[in-house]
Structure 1
Amino acid sequence: FVPGRSTKTQLLQHYCDIFETLSEGTRIDTIFLDFAKAFDKVDHDILLQKVAKHKIKGKIGLWLQEFLNSRKYRVVANGEMSDVQDVLSGVPQGTVLAAVLFIIMISDVDENVKSSIVRLFADDTRISRKITSEEDKVLLQKISMLSMIGQTKIS
């Protein structure tokens, strides 16, 4: 979502993180998270709480709530159209606002993994940690498990 940045930028930064850590004589572990169907899985209630946390309230906050919660869809299969259903999760794809809302949704991921290197690129997240203790060894595994329990599935 940042002009001039790409997956190459992410890989080069990862190489630098690894090189720097290894040159200190320390080991490093990394997990790569690709939020599967990230835009489709965003929980509206959690997102709106995070929007409010960013001090987006009042008329704009109400408009965002309506933007997310008043969406509907139908499906056509074998020539038959389904009844209208409410959209219960996700942000509308193809809009600039969808990207902004997704960034708000994942913007606090680093708060949960202090003392780790967190790099975000679109819906891809890389979390690296210097391994200096037994606790460090299991932390990334715990992060992976927590993400499976949460609303956003990881592929």
Structure 2
Amino acid sequence: WQLPCPLDIPILKPGKPPGVVSSYRPISLLPCLGKLIEKIIATRLAWYAQSNNLISHNQVAFKRGQGTLDALLHLDHFISDALSHKNHVSILSLDFLKAFDRIGIHVVLRQLSRWRVGSRIFNFVKSFLSNRKLSVIISNVSSSVLPLDNGTPQGSPLSVIL
């Protein structure tokens, strides 16, 4: 499954200096038909994962109807409960820098295999992530086509569930 090479437009992150490459977030402009198919697959995959309890109930990012407030309320409840029972509380907070850009395709496919998703969805995701290419456009000037070996496209409906 491959549609034409997406165009990536670098968007300046708020408060970041424009002269630094890492100050930009690449947003993939994807064909409408591709986004529609990806949305269908993402919806099915999310339903499958939730129906089979494959994602922790504590996970709130990219889940419909949940967000940072839910995470904070859960944390507050956890801390209050521990303190009321005179227990110690430790918190570890992680931020995976450039997670969308750096995730290995083999890692995603291995997880889907462990989840035992159907072969059609597995093969679609494998094709979706394999042999990817991109072209960057800045000030109406496009770069040459470049290969992408890792990551998922930012702006794709399927990327958040993967």
TM-score by length of 2: 0.54
Paired with 1:6 and 1:59, the residues of 2 have a C-alpha distance of 30
- Determine whether 1:50 maps to 2:88: no
Change (3 A) 1:75 1:13: same
Gapped regions of structure 2 (runs ≥ 5): 1-61
Q: Aligned in 2, Cα 1:68/1:16: closer, same or farther, shift over 3 Å?
A: same
Letter in 2 for 1:27: H
What is the deviation of 1:53? 1.1
Question: Cα distance, 1:32 vs. partner?
Answer: 1.1
Identity of aligned residues (%): 30
Q: Which residue of 1 aligns with 2:90?
A: 29
The residue number in structure 1 matching 2:147 is 86
Render the CA deviation track for 1:56-93: whole Å, top value 9, x for unaligned. 24233222111101210234679986543321111112
Distance 1:52 1:38 in 2: 20
Mark the CA change 1:61 to 1:83 in structure 2 (over 3 Å): closer, same or farther: same
Instruction: Quickly say closer, same or farther: Cα 1:16–1:79, change in 2 above 3 A.
Output: closer
In structure 1, how many angstroms separate the alpha carbons of the residues matched to 2:95 and 2:140? 35
Q: Please tell me the residue identity of whatever aligns with 1:24.
A: H
**Paired letter, 1:89:** N
- Displacement, 1:15? 0.9
Residue pair 2:132, 2:147 contacting (<8 A) in 1 also: yes
2:20 maps to none
Aligned mates of 1:100, 1:90 — CA distance in 2: 13
Give the alignment partner of residue 73 of structure 2, picking from 9, 12, 30: 12
The residue type paired with residue 50 of structure 1 is Q
**Residue-by-residue CA offset, 1:85-105 (whole Å, 9 max, x unaligned):** 32111111222211111xxxx
Give the superposed CA RMSD: 2.2
Partner of 2:160: 99
- 5+ residue gaps, structure 1, are 102-155
* Aligned partners of 2:131 and 2:149 also within 8 Å: no
> Residue 91 of structure 2: SS of its match in structure 1?
strand
Q: Secondary structure at the match of 1:16?
A: helix
State how 1:64-143 maps to structure 2 within 5 Å.
64-75=125-136, 83-101=144-162
Aligned-residue offset at 1:26: 1.0
TM-score with structure 1 setting the length: 0.56
Q: What CA distance in whole angstroms lies between the structure 2 residues aligned with 1:11 and 1:34?
A: 16
Give the count of matched residue pairs.
Answer: 101
